[in-house]
Amino acid sequence: QVQLVQSGAEVKKPGASVKVSCKASGYTFTSYYMHWVRQAPGQGLEWMGIINPSGGSTSYAQKFQGRVTMTRDTSTSTVYMELSSLRSEDTAVYYCARDGRALVDVWGQGTTVTVSS
Amino acid sequence: EIVLTQSPGTLSLSPGERATLSCRASQSVSSSYLAWYQQKPGQAPRLLIYGASSRATGIPDRFSGSGSGTDFTLTISRLEPEDFAVYYCQQYGSSPGLTFGGGTKVEIK
């Protein structure tokens, strides 16, 4: 079955970087774009950006430009999201989610990132 | 940038009742690109409706979506205990990629 499995929870200090992974299985990895969406505690969903696993092209939300980098490894069917210069406001659950052609049809289980001194 | 406004913020209903959730866009949205998700505490969102009115795989027929232009509705015909959750509408576009509404919490009255 189609599945997205994310890496485990992270605790980081302000100013540090975090890299979250998302391993896809059950479908052709390079055939579907992948989104990253985050959710701060008790808040709604916020889109961060998208990556094309085939060619590696990316598009980021303006809010995260310069701080986020999305990459992929086709040999392991894994996408990565790295967020730098972390601040307390970046404390959130980070989700990868498959783009199923104008809809988001499969989500990872989420990775909790806590930024605290 | 399109803004999605969901109302009400919280809906207090009893099992068996009908739930009507609204999603209003700041400008016209293609129906093809409007979706609804359900999220329960500690879980990832789950796709319910796409293309404004098409049910995703495995979604019971008590869930239905309708609307066009700037006004969209998610209806749950008879609430089951497992339906109490937060619901988000979402628009898929090029700038930015995805836009979500603020969510409607359906709670047990």
- pLDDT of A89 reads 97
A59 has a pLDDT exceeding 70: yes
Among A77, A16, A84, A75, CA closest to A51:
A77
Question: Across the interface, do A49 and B97 touch by the CB < 8 Å criterion?
Answer: yes
Residues within 8 A of A (CB atoms), B 40-79 only: 44-47, 50-51, 56
Query: Which residues are CB-contacts of B49 (< 8 A; sequence separation ≥ 6)?
Result: B35, B36, B55, B56, B59, B63, B64, B65, B74
What would you measure as the largest C-alpha separation in chain A, in angstroms? 41
A92-107: pLDDT as tens digits: 999 999 998 878 999 9
Please name the residue of chain B whose CA is at the shortest distance from the CA of residue A39.
B44
**Is there a contact between A64 and A45 (Cβ–Cβ < 8 Å)?**
no
B35-74: pLDDT as tens digits: 999 999 999 999 999 999 999 999 999 999 999 999 999 9
Q: What distance in Å separates residue B89's CA from the closest CA in chain A?
A: 10
- Closest by Cβ to B44, choosing from A44, A102, A107: A107
